[in-house]
Amino acid sequence: MKSNFRTAILFVCALIVLFVGTARTVLADETYQTPAKTIADLVEKPPTPAATLSFDKKHMLLCDLPTLPTIADISQPELRLAGFRINPKTTGESKPTYYAGLSYLDMSNPGAKPEPIRGLPKPAKIKHLSWSADCKTVAFTILEDDAYRLWKLDIPSRQASKLIDAPLNAFVGSPIDWASDGTLYVRLLPDERGSLPEKISVPRGPIVQENDGKKRPARTQPDTLKNAHDEALLDYYLKSQIAHVFLDGRVEKIGRADNYSGINPSPDAKHLLAITVHKPYSYKVTMERFPHRIEVWDSKGNVEKLLADNPLMEEVPIDFNAVPNCPRSFDWRSDTDATVTWVEARDGGDPKVKAEIRDEVLALAAPFNTKPTAIAHTALRYSGITWGDGQLALLREWWWNDRRTKTSMFSPDDPKKPVRVVWDRSYEDRYNDPGRPDTRVNSRRQSVLHVTARGEFILTGDGASPEGDRPFLDLFDIKTFKTKRLWRSEAPYYEYAATMLNDDGTRFLSRRESVSEQPQYFIRDLNKKSLTQVTRFPNPNPDISGRIEKKLVRYKRADGVDLSGILYTPPGFEAGKSKPIPMLMWVYPSEFKTKSAASQVQESPYRFVRLSHFGPAFALLMGFSVLDDPAMPIVGEGKIEPNDTYVEQLVSDATAAVDEMVKLGVADRDRIAIAGHSYGAFTAANLLAHTNLFRAGIARSGAFNRTLTPFGFQSEERAFWDAKDTYVKMSPFTHADKIDEPLLLIHGENDDNSGTYPVQSERLFEAMKGLGGRVRWVVLPNETHGYRARESVLHTLKEMADWLNKYVENAPARAQAQQKNEG
């Protein structure tokens, strides 16, 4: 009785405290705020144009990127259906990105002033841009008020025009696809769409779900279907009509109106691979796991072959190497006229099953009236094929548990020929990454291996090294497996080969930048030893370029693992002369299976310092130093899982970073803040809970309670019930009583990322508030995982700057604190 009375009294007291706390801390809706002009100007900087090169390498289009949209732009109506978010008005993405304009560069006259494209509306909202096989036409869509519509650009005349007026269905992927004969296949909104499904205001009954005893785990997913009305809406908006469009404007509708998720012309333009979605739907998984029908059509829409009718896939294990136990990865073989390929698991799709063969690659050629042929097998999980010709293709496979990747050469026309393993290695080992085989586009608009006349692959790679990334270009002899280095990026520049311009790799288009020089495209000729500038994009921050110092710093953590990060110091700071200043650390940890891989440098010190509004650059304009993405490896060697010692390793990583920054004289130990976005936010909150290294923290769009993502998160594939202690120990929510430094929580109201529901920030805020912590929670209306609206971005910058000013830069001095004990 005494125990029950005491419990009741404590409960009443808790309610009083909660009520009082709520009354004192609830804020009314605020208007959007703007930071100091020097910081606000980051939002006004024009983005660097994107560039796309024609397949024949003779033409370049420069694609202007718009500045940030307004809050009105991103507050349009939105439906969330089966993992997609669409605007019901346009039947396309609810928050699309697009190009605002196009201009043309003649690659035979590099360095010339770009030519304007005539005929485009102003402003334009351009998407789905795609070159024809003959490189004379570019197809794209323009988003009008009510729909996406198909446009074309005639390259010789530089004239753009609307090709057809019929609205397109852009629910999933691009609604347009070129055929190699110079015609287009598009997804139109059906003429007979019917009336919009009406939501019943009075429920007919409860929504019931039941499981029959089978294991059907699924990672935490946003935007799944919720009820029968959602199912009806999916049918309504996904349904489209396939049409064959000619460049003279003729339109031929083919096939039936249906729920198409993909339409893909064969290389010879005589057949189509059509994929449709059908019921039964699921309320637990997204559309990629719904039943799919995969058919081959002729060019008129007649069904030539039903390849598969895959069932609902709710029973796939959550393991990273798990796949559905049904045919998957349908595509055309790019080096033949019309051969469709796909993959089938031979281990039931379950990586826990012991099997000598995991996956089998099957092929079926036109006229599709024979049995499919097995052309390749994998001992690991299939991850793709790069086609070359009938005697040469590259087969890729991988395995999660030991971070293994394997690439082999095989003969698709003669599967009995011996398979030659080219590389078998750990994909975590960046220093020994051999690079990626270059590809070229053939006359049928298909990507195939680029093999030189001498029988060599051209390899391009990041060139990771202890001094940072130094991209390279190699030749790989197919017969001898010997590699010859052609070129490597040299300091003080970061440069990589973007596109080969000749057969042997001695002439290529490169993208080159330095700490103070904006990225530009160049033509590099190794034989002539020449470098010719192609683009001349303006420097977005000329007033400050060269005044911010950037360098790679390297140090060790207590157990000997090498760590590194990119250190920025603001204008006017002189190492060794200036006094230590406040610092912002912007973090995001990574998991590894070996300490040697964890010790490798992950960045380049020679990339351009673009003062973006998204990351930590704003702090430089406040006079802070910034340590961006300091290495925070979480290592689990052998059978040990990395996350089982997540907290201990995270604390060791952070301690080493802080000690090094203080040693270098760039950070005042008493004035260091920790911040991050997404998993970085999770990290920042954990470091506030388990150390006294930081005066304050900023956590944007994070997940803080891992029991809310019970079937895995990030690189953790175990379920909560398999690793309860790890889930609980890693969750800063369960250690909210230890967070005694100020924490700023920012979250998009409509976060669309797996696991980072807004409730994650809400619950941590309520916990800290109830425990008497110093915490502020900012919800950005209509924003998703990354913030898009100009008003939201400016307000976020204002919140972060004010937080750092109050709790870090102007914080009162504190005595050197002892690191907290874990527990």
Enumerate the active-site residues: 678, 751, 785
Q: What are the φ/ψ torsions at residue 492 (nearest 5 degrees)?
A: -95, 30
Helix (H, G, I), strand (E, B), or coil: what is residue 766? helix
At residue 39, what are phi and psi to the nearest 5 degrees?
Answer: -85, -40
Phi, psi of 728 (to 5 degrees): -70, -45
Q: What angle do CA 290, 296, 300 make, to 5 degrees?
A: 120
Spatial separation of the C-alpha atoms in residues 609 and 233, rounded to whole Å: 46
Peptide bond into 265 cis (omega under 30): no
Q: How far apart are CA 554 and CA 536, in angstroms?
A: 34
- Inter-helix orientation angle 646-663/679-690, to 10°: 80
- Which amino acid appears at position 221 of this protein? Q
Instruction: Report the SS3 class of residue 9.
Output: helix
Q: How far apart are CA 123 and CA 457, in angstroms?
A: 44
Tokens for 418, please give them. Answer: 């011996």
**Amino acid at site 371:** K
Instruction: Look at residues 401, 422, 418, 400 and name the one whose alpha carbon lies nearest to residue 410.
Output: 418
Distance CA 269, CA 194 (A): 32
Calculate ∠ Cα 656-658-661, nearest 5°: 105
Q: What is the DSSP string of 589-632?
A: -EEES-HHHHTS--S-TTS-----SSSSGGGGGGT-EEEES---
- Number of other CB atoms surrounding residue 725 within 10 Å: 8
Tally of CA atoms within 13 A in the half-sphere of 591 that contains its CB: 20
Residues 6+ apart with CB under 8 A from 1: none
CA pair distance 41, 540, nearest whole angstrom:
10
329: left (phi over 0), alpha (psi -120 to 50) or beta: left
Residue pointed to by tokens 């097995």:
374
Q: Pairing between strand 581-586 and 667-677?
A: parallel
* Beta pairing class for 549-556 and 590-592: unpaired
Beta-carbon contacts of 199 under 8 Å, excluding residues fewer than 6 positions away, are 229
| Core vs surface per residue 276-285: b (16+ CB within 10 A) or e | bbeeebbeeb
**Residue partners of 810: CB distance under 8 A and separation at least 6:** none
Q: CA–CA separation, 744 vs 778, rounded Å? A: 8
Length of the chain as a residue count: 823
In whole angstroms, give the CA distance from residue 443 to residue 180.
8
What is the SS3 assignment for 638-687?
CCCCHHHHHHHHHHHHHHHHHHHHHHCCCEEEEEEEEEEECHHHHHHHHH
Is 332 in a helix, a strand, or coil? strand
What are the residues facing 254 on neighbouring strands? Answer: 242
Distance CA 267, CA 162 (A): 26
Cis peptide before 781 (omega within 30 of 0): no
Interatomic CA distance for residues 84 and 172, integer angstroms: 8
Residue 643 phi/psi, 5-degree rounding, is: -70, -10
3-state helix, strand, coil in the chain (%, to 5): 20, 35, 50
